[in-house]
Structure 1
Amino acid sequence: MQKTKNLIAKNMYFPLALGLFTLIVYIGNDLVLPAMLQVTADFGVGPEWAPTSMAAYLFGGALLASFWGPVSDQLGRRKVFLAGSAFFVVCCLFILLTKNIEQFMSLRVLQGTALTLISAVGFATVQEAYEEKQAVKVMALMANISLLAPLLGPIVGAMMIEYVSWHWGFVGIALCAALSTIGLYKYMPETVDLTQKQKRSIGSVIKDFMVIYTNKRFMILALSGPIIGLPVMLWISLSPVFLIEELKLSNFGYGLSQVPVLGALIFGNLLLTRLVDRYALGHTVIIGFVLMGIGAFVLLLGLFFTDYILWSLILGMGTIAVGEGLSYAVMYRFALMASPVAKGTVAAAMATVVMVFFSAMIELSKHVYLWLHFTGLWLMCALCVAAFAVFSYPLLITIMKEREQSGVTDQV
């Protein structure tokens, strides 16, 4: 198919519909978390079940991470995505009928499969439907839409349990997901040429995954995005502990503290859309890397000037977040193009890498923080910067030189 070159209004209907669905799936975690104590009380179980909801959701994402991509390579991106999004809507409605916590968690697992449907099929479609720099812009803009989830989810969830039952949260999620599915049905393009496809065996799919996972360049690039994104993920996952429990902020103060950090990430994504046309692809990553280093240094200052540690956390994490916004979409593009295998399979492999990395590193970081407190938080952020400097940055420079020597402007 012909790739989209200009982001005029009619060419943005598909990414807007996909961005809405992405927001709804992500908010399916952020909105539900504040209601989990009410859920556990309704089912007559202890509060220790509350964190299991997020774990079940992420497990669902990992469960089909390697399934969506290869299937969409064979059956088409559009058909598979629409089926997966409809399945998500059905699961959100079926959870209303659950009678015990085990059934509830089982439906949370099934709902979570939409997480990697988005990354393995939706994002692959964006990369195939738009020319290189336009695809990077679209990914950055969709990231901004999805960032509304951690901003709005906890607030809406808290208001919901204050006035109505948690069931209405899933009703609202299902209705919004159904609306976005209708938009995707109308505007999502098919980027796979199904007339050229031949049936493939499971063995050939496994062989493709082996080719991808043994590709050193792909693995470094696929891990670069999560490495860049980990500090902000730690902020989202651990900030309730260190802001409320340790720094004694109120719930309102905690909510306000999220705005500058997540707002900085949105600013970084918007800045990327402005700069990507002016510089060679990859240049914004260099700027982002420098900003991440500065942010880690600001976090370090907070360890010595403890009276200002809150401001150090917000300013340091905000600076790191701008760096992530300038970098993540570009590194995703480079990783997707690092393997010659069908892009649905490559995107599925990337989704698996990202899911496993974040799950393992967030759990590890939690224990490091409980051991070393704010020093542990700074250490994990500093390690991310160091890992990018040692592994990702040299490869980034190599790729930029290769593209310059070959005269590449839009890699397809």
Structure 2
Amino acid sequence: MSTETITPSRSRTLRFLLILGGLTAFGPLSIDMYLPAFPTIAADFGTGPAQVQLSLTACVIGLAVGQLLAGPLSDSLGRRRPLLIGLAVYCVASLLCAFAPSALTLTGLRLVQGLGAAAGIVIARAVVRDLYSGVAVARFFSTLMLVTGLAPILAPVLGGQLMRLTSWRGVFVALTAIGVLLLVVAVLALPETLPAAQRRPGSLGTTLRTFGQLLVHRGFIGYALAAGLAFAAMFAYISGSSFVLQDVYGLSPQTYSIVFGANALGLVVLGQLNGRLVGRVSTTALLTTGLGMTVVGGVLLLVAAVLGLGLVGILPPLFLLVSSMGMVMPNATTLALAAYPQAAGTASALLGTAQFVVGGVAAPLVGLGGEHTAVPMAAVMAAFGVLGLAAYALLARGSAAALTEDGPSAPTVLAEAAAE
């Protein structure tokens, strides 16, 4: 099926938005839904916070490695087959997590769960790049934030409510059900978006050469590091906030889930504002603004934690930092993928891997810093925010991959946009 055949009408655009949003939400769902259960899991297995956070890190590693596998495969085999296999793996692993007898077993199964979920995340980005070019990509990614942003809002709330009705194991049963639903929808409603004529040879050598080209592309690396380091700042919040807000500041699992959801709502709102500004304000300016917000939020959070300002001092900078992702992620993703439309799956894989690898490093750093103060979490968040802005300023600003009103400056993409 050619991309012209499925170029979206309004109804198909909405359908793609919902499906791709659901696939992209795999990461937040798998990460966030069981966050309110962290203290309970630790008590159930007789372990400390660091061991429970290791299961989170394992899932993130799976999400990173899985993208390296699924992205190049989707460039050579098409989008559907790798996607459906990944969804099936996710469903099986999620169900087995519900019956894990130990923290070590849970950690191993979370690794497999992440491997399966990665296919949905990386292929969803590649499908967007198959169908759109220029600022339309940034607009679609910003709109996608409305759908995917619901996942971190609803996931901890749903997890907190499930904890009232069942144990943490019931959370993984719910994830299994969500995975089965997305698998059925993908089988029935998501067409192939990469025609056979546009697929790349699937040899290991071709894949490694493409990775090599991406790794020496200064702009791509700058945007990937900026996104990955900013994501790590938010991931430090994701992995540490459950212990900090519940154990240090005394919030219940239900109240914590509400706070977490409110922060995610800020991400959605800023993502929608970003979508309205794309085309009127340069994509690089929007990205710079988002990264600046990340730094300001992280620094203010650290100051509040060190001075012991309590929830009144902690919550506003947390909201600012999490909200900034609504402006950082769509623009960094668009700019990173701009120069490589012919290898969107592979580029998307490397971009996503950078985010989850760096994010995975953040989780144990927060846990090792102690569980009775907010300072370790705040310090890690501030540090990664500053590093993200520095990587962007040193490597990506002025890159040839920057977007103009008409699209990426890379000649191959301009030619593609003209042809469309």
C-alpha change, 1:184 and 1:137, in structure 2 (3 Å) is: farther
- Rounded to whole Å, the distance in 1 between the matches of 2:332 and 2:119 is 20
Q: 1:143 — aligned with what?
A: 145
Question: Which of 264-273 and 278-287 deviates more?
Answer: 278-287
Q: How does 1:6-405 map to 2 (within 5 A)?
A: 8-24=10-26, 26-34=28-36, 46-47=46-47, 50-93=52-95, 105-164=107-166, 168-197=170-199, 199-296=201-298, 298-299=300-301, 302=304, 306=308, 308-339=309-340, 342-367=343-368, 369-370=369-370, 374-393=374-393, 395-399=395-399
Shift of residue 281 of structure 1? 2.4
Aligned residue pairs, count: 408
Letter paired with 1:345: T
Shift of residue 141 of structure 1? 3.3
- Rounded to whole Å, the distance in 1 between the matches of 2:32 and 2:243 is 16
Letter paired with 1:133: V
C-alpha change, 1:376 and 1:347, in structure 2 (3 Å) is: same
Q: Sequence identity of aligned pairs in percent?
A: 22
C-alpha change, 1:334 and 1:402, in structure 2 (3 Å) is: closer
Q: Does the 8 Å CA contact 2:284/2:402 hold for their aligned counterparts?
A: no
1:311-350 CA-to-partner distances (Å, cap 9, x unmatched) read 2322112222333211211111111234576221111222
Letter paired with 1:318: F
Q: Does the 8 Å CA contact 2:267/2:323 hold for their aligned counterparts?
A: yes
- Rounded to whole Å, the distance in 1 between the matches of 2:363 and 2:41 is 25
- Rounded to whole Å, the distance in 2 between the matches of 1:67 and 1:385 is 28
- Rounded to whole Å, the distance in 2 between the matches of 1:84 and 1:289 is 32
C-alpha change, 1:40 and 1:284, in structure 2 (3 Å) is: closer
- Rounded to whole Å, the distance in 1 between the matches of 2:202 and 2:356 is 26
Q: TM-score, normalised by structure 1?
A: 0.83
Letter paired with 1:53: S
Letter paired with 2:380: M
Shift of residue 384 of structure 1? 3.6
C-alpha change, 1:55 and 1:399, in structure 2 (3 Å) is: closer
Letter paired with 1:262: A
Question: Which of 4-13 and 174-183 deviates more?
Answer: 4-13
Shift of residue 56 of structure 1? 3.3
Question: Which of 181-190 and 33-42 deviates more?
Answer: 33-42
Shift of residue 199 of structure 1? 4.1
Q: Does the 8 Å CA contact 1:212/1:341 hold for their aligned counterparts?
A: no
Q: Does the 8 Å CA contact 1:61/1:355 hold for their aligned counterparts?
A: yes
Residue ranges of structure 1 left out of the alignment (5+ in a row): none
Q: CA RMSD in A?
A: 3.6
Q: Does the 8 Å CA contact 2:366/2:377 hold for their aligned counterparts?
A: yes
